Amino acid sequence: MRVASGKVIDGKVVVAGDALSEGATVTVLARDDDETFEASPEQEAALLSAIAEAERGDFVSSDQLLASLHRSV
């Protein structure tokens, strides 16, 4: 998992930094111009920890998550 920032240029998202591989699946979150995001130091630490876990491969795939949700219903 990678976190990348970019800008919309000519209707396309242009990612800053290293290019993403062709065909990569991405999720785009777009905030409104007047929308802000603030996190407490604890929330920021939790987010950074979760990103580090994902980068280590310590995560559950979407298929595994959906299967476990179906089992619990």
pLDDT of residue 43: 93
Name the residue type at position 63: D
Q: How remote is the C-alpha of 44 from its chain's centroid?
A: 14
48 is a domain residue:
yes
Read off φ and ψ for residue 14, nearest 5 degrees. Answer: -110, 115
Domain encompassing residue 14: 6-31+39-72
Q: Could you state, in chain order, the average pLDDT of each consecutive group of 10 residues for the chain (73 residues)?
A: 78 82 81 80 91 87 87 81
Q: What is the pLDDT of residue 1?
A: 62
Contact 5, 53 (CB under 8 A): no
- Whether 53 is in a domain gets the answer yes
Give the pLDDT confidence score for residue 28 in this predicted structure: 79
pLDDT at 42: 93
Residue 19 lies in a domain: yes
Q: Is residue 1 part of a domain?
A: no
- Which residues is 7 bridged to in the sheet? 14
How many domains in the chain?
Answer: 1
